[in-house]
């Protein structure tokens, strides 16, 4: 994983998964940043990522994987919707370097 520490950035992951699930996921993939549990969907709904999704003709509610870059004033400076994992960290690093 690319190094975000030199860019004065804080990286957080948020999902509805439990804290125990986050700990297992973090350990499994060696993630060097905190994962936060939003069990009640408050954050997911406020950021508009809790959506109706369709798979094989069936609808269900779920999180649309999205990255938000928030600047030092607390303003959302960049949004990356429908994130695909491969190459995404490099893309976010480039966005941070531009700030």
Buried b (16+ CB within 10 A) or exposed e, 60-72: eeebeebbebeee
Q: Going by C-beta distance under 8 Å and a sequence separation of 6 or more, which residues neighbour residue 21? A: none
Going by their DSSP bridges, the two strands 76-80 and 67-70 should be labelled as: antiparallel
What rounded mean pLDDT belongs to the chain?
88
Model pLDDT, residue 6: 74
CATH of domain 5-98: 3.40.30.10
Smallest Cα–Cα separation from 72: which of 4, 5, 9, 6? 9
| Reported confidence tier of residue 1, pLDDT bands at 50, 70, 90 | low
Model pLDDT, residue 2: 66
């Amino acid at each position: 994983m690319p190094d975000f520490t030199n860019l004065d950035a804080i990286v957080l992951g948020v999902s509805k998964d439990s804290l125990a699930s986050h700990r297992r996921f973090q350990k499994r993939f060696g993630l060097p940043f905190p994962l936060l549990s939003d069990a009640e969907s408050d954050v997911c709904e406020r950021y508009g990522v809790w959506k109706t999704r369709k798979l094989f003709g069936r609808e269900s509610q779920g999180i649309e994987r999205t990255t938000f870059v928030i600047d030092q004033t607390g303003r959302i400076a960049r949004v990356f919707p429908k994130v695909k994992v491969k190459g995404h960290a490099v893309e976010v690093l480039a966005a941070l370097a531009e700030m």
